[in-house]
Structure 1
Amino acid sequence: MKTYSRNEKVCETDERIKKVCLVASGLLRVVVDEDVTTDFVREGDLYLHLEATEPKYVLVAALPTSVYFVPADDIWTICKEYPPVAFELLRLTIERVANLRKHLQQISSNTSEARIACAMHELTLLAPGRNGGYDKRISQGVIASYTALSREVVNRAMRDLQVRGLLRKDRHAVHLQMDSKAGTPSSPREEIGPPKL
Structure 2
Amino acid sequence: MYLHPLIASVPQEERAAFVQRIELRSYRRNEVVLGADDWTDRVYCVATGLLRVVVQGSEDSGDVTTDFIRQDDFFLNAAPIEERYQPGAMLIAALPTSLYLVPTLELRALCERYPAVTMGLLEIVMKRTTVLRRQIRQISSASSERLISRILHELTVLAPGTGGGYDKRITQSVIASYSGLSRMQVNKTMRDLERRGLVRRDEHGVYVPPHFASSDFQELAPGEASPPSPPADPPGEVGPSFFSELFEAPKSSKPRKG
Structure 2 residue 207 is the aligned partner of structure 1 residue 175: yes
1:120-163: CA deviations, max 9, x gaps? Answer: 10011111111111111101111000000111111111111001
Amino acid of the residue matched to residue 49 of structure 1?
N
Q: Which residue of the partner structure matches residue 59 of structure 1? A: 91
- The answer to whether the Cα contact below 8 Å between 2:43 and 2:104 also exists between their aligned partners in 1 is yes
Q: Which residue of the partner structure matches residue 44 of structure 1? A: 72
Q: Which residue of the partner structure matches residue 30 of structure 2? A: 7
Matched residues, number: 190
Distance 1:90 1:81 in 2: 16
Distance 1:50 1:140 in 2: 31
- Tell me, which stretches of 5 or more residues in structure 2 are unaligned? 1-23, 58-62, 80-85, 220-229, 231-238, 244-258
Distance 1:21 1:48 in 2: 7
- The answer to whether the Cα contact below 8 Å between 2:38 and 2:87 also exists between their aligned partners in 1 is no
Distance 2:39 2:124 in 1: 17
Q: Which residue of the partner structure matches residue 120 of structure 2? A: 88
Distance 1:185 1:152 in 2: 24
Amino acid of the residue matched to residue 76 of structure 2?
L
- The answer to whether the Cα contact below 8 Å between 1:17 and 1:72 also exists between their aligned partners in 2 is no
Distance 1:159 1:16 in 2: 42
Instruction: Report the RMSD for the aligned CA atoms in angstroms.
Output: 2.3
1:91-135: CA deviations, max 9, x gaps? Answer: 000000000000101100111111111111001111111111111
Q: Which residue of the partner structure matches residue 189 of structure 1? A: 217
Q: Which residue of the partner structure matches residue 49 of structure 2? A: 26
- The answer to whether the Cα contact below 8 Å between 1:114 and 1:185 also exists between their aligned partners in 2 is no
Distance 2:78 2:200 in 1: 37
Query: What TM-score results when the alignment is normalised by the length of structure 2?
Result: 0.69
Which of 143, 161, 166 matches 2:198? Answer: 166
The alpha carbon displacement at 1:16 in A equals 5.7
Is the alpha carbon distance of 1:71 and 1:10 closer, same or farther for their aligned partners in structure 2, counting shifts above 3 Å? same
Query: What TM-score results when the alignment is normalised by the length of structure 1?
Result: 0.89
1:2-32: CA deviations, max 9, x gaps? Answer: 1111111001234465111000000001001
Distance 2:160 2:149 in 1: 15
1:123-162 superposed matches below 5 A: 123-162=155-194
Q: Name the structure where strand makes up a greater proportion of residues.
A: 1
Distance 1:14 1:159 in 2: 38
